[in-house]
């Protein structure tokens, strides 16, 4: 018996975990290529995505400070599950803007 809200053209595929990962990676690559960021000079550069520890070391900040900046929306970040990552260039731009706003 068919459910009333099931579309006629619905197709289900069985895939292994590795096949699914491959398809997802391909989709992500295509999406990133279509939305490549440009620097101020206008050259295409891939974003440098770093973790919290790397950000702490590069900016010489404490972890509570970075967490506070995240919570207040002062720095951009990406979060998937519990993993938090930062686009280093965008963080620098946000901090420069914050610095300029204080003057």
Domain 17-37+44-102 has CATH 1.10.10: yes
- Give 48-84 pLDDT, tens digit per residue: 999 999 999 999 999 999 999 999 999 999 998 999 9
Spans of all domains in the chain? 17-37+44-102
Give yes or no for residue 98 having a pLDDT over 90: no
Above pLDDT 90, what percent of the chain?
Answer: 46
Pair 43, 33: CB distance under 8 Å: no
At 5, is the pLDDT very low, low, confident or very high (cuts 50, 70, 90)? low
């Amino acid at each position: 018996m068919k459910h009333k809200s099931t579309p006629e053209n619905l197709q289900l595929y069985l895939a292994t975990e590795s096949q699914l990962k491959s398809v997802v990676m391909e989709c992500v690559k295509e999406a990133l290529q279509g939305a490549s960021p440009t620097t101020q000079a206008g050259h295409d550069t891939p974003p440098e995505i770093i973790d919290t520890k790397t950000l702490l070391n590069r900016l010489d900040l404490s972890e509570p400070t970075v967490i506070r900046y995240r919570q207040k929306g002062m720095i951009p970040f990406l979060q998937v599950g519990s993993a938090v990552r930062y686009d280093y260039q965008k963080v620098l731009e946000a901090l420069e803007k914050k610095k300029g706003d204080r003057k």
